[in-house]
Amino acid sequence: MSFDKELEKKAEETEEIIRNYLPKEEGYQKTVIEAMNYSILAGGKRLRPMLAGETYRMFGGSGKLAEPFMAAIEMVHTYSLIHDDLPCMDNDEYRRGRKTAHVVYGEGMAVLAGDGLLNFAFETAVKAFSLAKNEEEMKRAADALAVFAGKAGIYGMIGGQAADIEAEDRKEEVTEEKLIFIHEHKTAALIQSSMMTGAILAGASREEIKKIEKCAYNIGIAFQIQDDILDVTGSLEKLGKQAGSDEKNKKATYVKLKGLEQAKKDADSLSKEAIAIISSFRDRNTFLEELIRYLITREK
Amino acid sequence: MSFDKELEKKAEETEEIIRNYLPKEEGYQKTVIEAMNYSILAGGKRLRPMLAGETYRMFGGSGKLAEPFMAAIEMVHTYSLIHDDLPCMDNDEYRRGRKTAHVVYGEGMAVLAGDGLLNFAFETAVKAFSLAKNEEEMKRAADALAVFAGKAGIYGMIGGQAADIEAEDRKEEVTEEKLIFIHEHKTAALIQSSMMTGAILAGASREEIKKIEKCAYNIGIAFQIQDDILDVTGSLEKLGKQAGSDEKNKKATYVKLKGLEQAKKDADSLSKEAIAIISSFRDRNTFLEELIRYLITREK
């Protein structure tokens, strides 16, 4: 099967898993649940849960143990978009061609829908405990939950968000160290969460989990540098936004800090290292390797 | 020791436990952590974690297993206040005499501080797994986590919040059933979470946990009815807010729906039942009994 076909098939399977875990739109709290589902069903490639599921498979995982985490990761990703889009944050009225949650449901309800999804991510991940077949799997679920929680919070995604909005508010010059901090936390942390929880649930060793953490870090940073490069070189058609918009927004970017050539070199070497790591394990998952290549060499 | 003295001592012990679990204000994400700690250290009687700890003790719990949950419950309570106070929700500039988080740190940072606290509540509760001494305690931690997550989310506190703001937005007539739904979810759910996690972690039986859930339900509803009664009968001095403010705000209240006399009767019978339940277990905790009595018969 071609990679494109396989990606499509895996995306459908992942979509199915996510839908299985969504709450029913009923009861006096129906509206907030509608707002949650509206946002999570707005589309998206489901790349994070797919990375979780494929890493789980690579380390020999079978059965449904990873599924609650796959759904939970997409919930965390979605809640962060809802809160990001709020008027007091990025103030975006559209995302993926649809009106954002606060435009449709009002700001108060959008705050609650984001809270609801973050909380429901944990309600969902906790369901892995009832799928655990033995004490060993219970322990893995507990370890995965700790990583999942950590990478989503102030030492993960929220930490990156906070540093980012603060830097923008203060219009301060962002150092390379700080820019990498923001990319690592805002973007790489959820990719780490995805791949690490997959590895942990499948019973990967401590050393293997460390390698997966590094691999996912590289993917996240390379992805962001690529984004900065495309902003300079990309065309409106391919990118769906005006090229050069970062420059107009005075946003600190990796390209601005290091120059276009160095940025390309760095993205390339981070990508190569990520691929080298993921190909280094005893059992390989060629779809996962291609998926990672796809993620970091995209042209839009 | 008098109840007041004992309450003071327990409050100090609980405060100490909460502080042990707070994040350090450092790193590029320092500001969001400051906003989180500013809000959680704004005071408050720490009644929810105290209920958790005392229910844990009543069912024979010893050691530190309940402590992460005690801190986590206060974090959930605090994040809900931060988001409640936002301009797009209740738009409150002061709480307990201090400026609210969004006034001090800005709206975007306040949204993130709320998200950060909710997420950190789970990061904290998960630490119970590393305190568990055996498989049995692991299982209890997993069960407690499921209840903790459920009672905080759309089938608990967030569900009540959502129904409440929707009813206010639409200025609709609230039925008794809906008002009870709002009180049960917005207020009683976190009290249930507190007492039930305490009971579960101590190894209470399924039947005992059911009784605790009912007891906490009664406490929450009686507490809210009492609030409505005090709004009508209380003086400004005792209550700290203008008596009759619910009437002015056209807010649906239990007193309005059922009349003052019936409201008093209902609060009284709910309270008596709660006390009867908590006194019915083999081992008793007289401080817990007095604490519950204090909660539902307060005059301010």
DSSP string spanning A76-97? HHHHHHHHHHSTTTT--SEETT
Cα–Cα dist A228/A230, whole Å? 5
pLDDT digits (tens, 9 = 90+) for B175-188: 999 999 999 999 99
pLDDT, tens digit, for every residue of B83-120? 999 999 999 999 989 999 999 999 999 999 999 999 99
ipTM for the assembly? 0.95
Question: Poorest-confidence range of A110-119, B203-212, B239-248?
Answer: B239-248
Which residues in chain A are contacts of B107 at CB distance < 8 A?
88
Q: Would the pLDDT of B134 be above 80?
A: yes
pLDDT value at residue A252: 81
Confidence of residue A172 (pLDDT cuts 50, 70, 90): confident
Specify the amino acid at residue B108.
Answer: G
Task: Please state, in angstroms and rounded to a whole number, the distance separating the CA atoms of residues A129 and A121.
Answer: 14
- B145, B154, B176: which to substitute to probe chain A, counting the most A Cβ within 10 Å? B154
CB neighbours of A14 closer than 8 A, spacing ≥ 6? A46, A49, A50, A53, A70
- The residue of A24, A26, A28 whose CB has the most chain B CBs within 10 angstroms, and thus the best one to mutate to test that interface, is A28
- Residue from B33, B188, B157 nearest A116 by CA: B157
User: Model's pTM, two decimal places?
Assistant: 0.96
| pLDDT-derived band at A245, boundaries 50, 70, 90 | low
Q: How many other β-carbons are positioned within 10 Å of the β-carbon of residue B135?
A: 12
> Sorting pLDDT into bands at 50, 70 and 90, what band is A232?
confident
A167 near A178, Cβ under 8 Å? Answer: yes
Chain A closest-CA separation from residue B271 CA (Å) = 26
Please tell me whether residue A271 adopts helix, strand or coil conformation. helix
How confident is the model over A31-89, as pLDDT tens digits? 999 999 999 999 889 999 999 999 999 999 999 999 999 999 999 999 999 999 999 99
Pick from B112, B170, B190 the residue to mutate for testing the A interface (most A CBs within 10 Å).
B112
Q: B43-99 pLDDT, tens per residue?
A: 889 999 999 999 999 999 999 999 999 999 999 999 999 999 999 999 999 998 999
Cα gap B1→B243, rounded to integer Å: 34
B76 to chain A: closest CA residue: A119
Pick from B32, B152, B185: CB nearest A119: B152
Distance in Å, alpha carbon of A280 to nearest chain B alpha carbon: 31
3-class SS string, chain B: CCHHHHHHHHHHHHHHHHHHCCCCCCCCCHHHHHHHHHHHCCCCCCHHHHHHHHHHHHCCCCCCCCHHHHHHHHHHHHHHHHHHHCCCCCCCCEECCEECHHHHHCHHHHHHHHHHHHHHHHHHHCCHHHHCCCHHHHHHHHHHHHHHHHHHCCCCHHHHHHHHHHHHHHCCCCCHHHHHHHHHHHHHHHHHHHHHHHHHHCCCCHHHHHHHHHHHHHHHHHHHHHHHHHHHHCCHHHHCCCCCHHHHCCCCCHHHHHCHHHHHHHHHHHHHHHHHHHCCCCCCCHHHHHHHHHHHCCCC
Q: Which of A145, A149, A162 sits opposite B31 (nearest CB)?
A: A162
Say how far apart CA A76 and CA A44 lie, in whole Å: 13
Q: What is the pLDDT of residue B172?
A: 81
DSSP state of A185: I
Subunit contact B108:A169, Cβ cutoff 8 A: yes
Contact A128, B148 (CB under 8 A): no
